[in-house]
Each structure stands twice: as structure tokens, then as C-alpha cells.
Amino acid sequence: MSKANLRLAVILLTVFTGIVHLVVLNLDHIDTLFFLNGIGYFVLLGAFTGVLKPLAANQKLVHYGLIGFAAATIIAFFLFNGSGLLGYVTKAVEVLLIVATYLHLQKS
């Protein structure tokens, strides 16, 4: 897979999981942890894409930050007994996000 395709994959996967945490899981009421998780994904996305220039200066660190954030989200899901189809789909997307981010980093 080309670096451009990996970049697009990272962006799309991050947008998906960010929207799920920021909007979909907060439809009934605002859950602070889900809301902050969604914000975190979009901040990291801004750093990854270069929109947030001060954070984008060290792309290697941004890649590792995105990988660690996604991994922490997956671990928290299982520690807090997460369930439901959307939860498992989102965790699969986050695993793909980790893989795509790692592969993109290797091509940098």
C-alpha cells in the first residue's frame, strides 16, 4: 500500500472512531470520557495532517501518540466491560488504525 493510501486510511479510520466517540455515544447524554476521547482523536488527527502546526512538528511522536491513544482506548473498552456491536466494530477500526499508522510511520 502506498504512503498516500496509508495516510488516507489513517485519516478515515480516525474520523470514524472520533465521530463514534464524540457524537454517536453521546446521543442520549454527554459522557465525559467518550467526549474527551473523541476530542483526543480529532486533536491527534489535526497533528497528523499538519493542521495543528505546533503539534505536527514531530511526526514520529504524533504517530506513536495516535497508536498509543488507540491502544489505550481498546484496553479501556475491555477493562470497563464494553459490549455491543458498535463497540466491537469500533475496536476493530481502532486495530486497523494502529496498523495503518504504524505502516505509514515505516514509510516516512
**pLDDT for position 74:** 97
How many structural domains does the chain have?
A: 1
Q: Other C-beta atoms within 10 Å of 70: how many?
A: 25
In tens, the pLDDT along 9-47 reads 999 999 999 999 988 766 788 888 889 999 999 999 999
Helices (H) and strands (E) in the chain, counts: 5, 0
34 C-beta neighbours (distance < 10 Å), count: 16
pLDDT tens digits for range 37-86: 999 999 999 999 998 888 778 999 999 999 999 999 999 999 988 888 99
Q: Which domain holds residue 14?
A: 3-107
Burial class (CB in 10 A: 0-12, 13-18, 19+), 38: buried
The pLDDT score that the predictor gives to residue 39 is 97
What is the rounded CA–CA span in Å between residue 44 and residue 50? 10
